[in-house]
Amino acid sequence: MIHYALGIDIGGTNIAFGLVSSEGEILFEVSFPTRNFEQPTDFVEFIHQFLSDKGVLDEIIGIGIGAPNGNHFTGEIRFAPNLHWKGIIPLADLFEKKFHKPTILTNDANAAAFGEKLFGNAKDLDDFVTITLGTGLGSGIIAEGELLYGHHGIAGEYGHIRVVHNGRLCGCGRKGCLETYASSTGVVRSILELESAHKSSSKLPSLEKPSAKKVFELAAQGDQFAQEIVEFTAEILGSSLADFAAFSDPQAYVLFGGLSLSGESFAQKVKMYMEANILNIYKDAIEIRISSLNDKNAAVLGTAASIFWKTIQSKTK
Ligand SMILES: [Zn+2]
């Protein structure tokens, strides 16, 4: 029997939500500016009315929400710096009270891991780590078929593992975090750094507004400066993934979004640097895959998948 779950992706700029079937089909999906909703309660009311108007309220078996600083255990968004809703927001609770359906709140990287496991490129894997390469770097860890939440519900902050001693200043206040290098903003910082190092010999005159996307495109066209940046990014990510393997022993890393959109060549470079730096016992044992959800709204799909996942888990226990 096909079930439907509501998947909601909350971002600082936009909120997207959609109805997803247990087969991974997105029935519809819409998006609104987050600032349309002054209070989180306005947002809950709005979605309820929206689904009621569409006549699909009773079809839903549960609600999955992905949000920055979303805590799975408490169902709260806590002090999200990029949201205009301030403080602690008991979002899962607000939805459950209004909809009377089970609601799961998690962060976007965990949602991406659920999506990959149920509908994407990790269906065959029970031990993998999804690495989301967007504005920042996030990770969702599936270990022995379970998502790893950790004791406080906040496991998987790979983006904030420090990989360069005394390196770039991170938004978290510390220095040298992986996401200050391996993310779209990290790549832009690499461009600016390398440009100022080269100064007079800067070879990227077309990059008035430098972006990671542009640099990857130029690298593919053979631009040397751009290739240097891509190489540097792949090296830092690959060597970090080599180290992270030591505590989680995954079958694969699945790269999602942003930098992974440039395709196989980047993944191959990351793999090469991972192999060059990895402990002997993990050699040739870990794959680097690219997400197959990149062209879909993985966040809506993934948050809905968290509901189906829970249903599957409760059946097998
Ligand atoms: Zn950090």
CA of residue 82 to ligand 1 center, whole Å: 15
Q: Does pTM top 0.85 for this prediction?
A: yes
User: Is 105 in contact with 67 (CB distance < 8 Å)?
Assistant: yes
CA of residue 4 to ligand 1 center, whole Å: 37
Check if 4-113+296-316 and 125-290 are the same fold: yes
- Note the pLDDT of residue 38: 95
CA of residue 157 to ligand 1 center, whole Å: 9
Which class would CATH give 125-290?
alpha beta
* Distance, CA of 124 to CA of 79 (rounded, Å): 36
- Note the pLDDT of residue 143: 95
At 63 the three-state DSSP class reads strand
CA of residue 35 to ligand 1 center, whole Å: 27
CA 87 to chain centre: 23
- Note the pLDDT of residue 152: 85
Query: Along the chain (317 residues), what's the average pLDDT of each consecutive run of 10 residues?
Result: 92 92 93 94 97 94 91 89 88 97 92 94 96 91 93 90 97 95 95 79 62 91 93 97 94 90 87 98 96 81 92 73
Q: Where are the chain's structural domains?
A: 4-113+296-316, 125-290
Q: How far is CA 4 from each of CA 18, 20, 27, 187, rounded to the nearest angstrom?
A: 10, 5, 9, 38
- Note the pLDDT of residue 78: 87
* Distance, CA of 8 to CA of 104 (rounded, Å): 10
CA of residue 175 to ligand 1 center, whole Å: 7
CA of residue 133 to ligand 1 center, whole Å: 14
CA of residue 158 to ligand 1 center, whole Å: 9
Name the residue among 62, 48, 11, 60 with its Cα closest to residue 32: 11
CA of residue 70 to ligand 1 center, whole Å: 17
CA of residue 184 to ligand 1 center, whole Å: 15
| Tokens 């509908």 -> residue | 119
CA of residue 256 to ligand 1 center, whole Å: 19
Question: Which residue intervals of 146-296 are DSSP H helices?
Answer: 184-198, 212-220, 224-248, 264-277
Query: Crossing angle of helices 224-248/212-220, nearest 10°?
Result: 110
DSSP state letter for 215: H
- Note the pLDDT of residue 207: 61
* CATH label, 4-113+296-316, candidates 3.20.20.80, 3.30.70.1150, 3.30.750.24, 3.30.420.40: 3.30.420.40
CA of residue 51 to ligand 1 center, whole Å: 38
CA of residue 172 to ligand 1 center, whole Å: 4
CA of residue 166 to ligand 1 center, whole Å: 12
CA of residue 179 to ligand 1 center, whole Å: 7
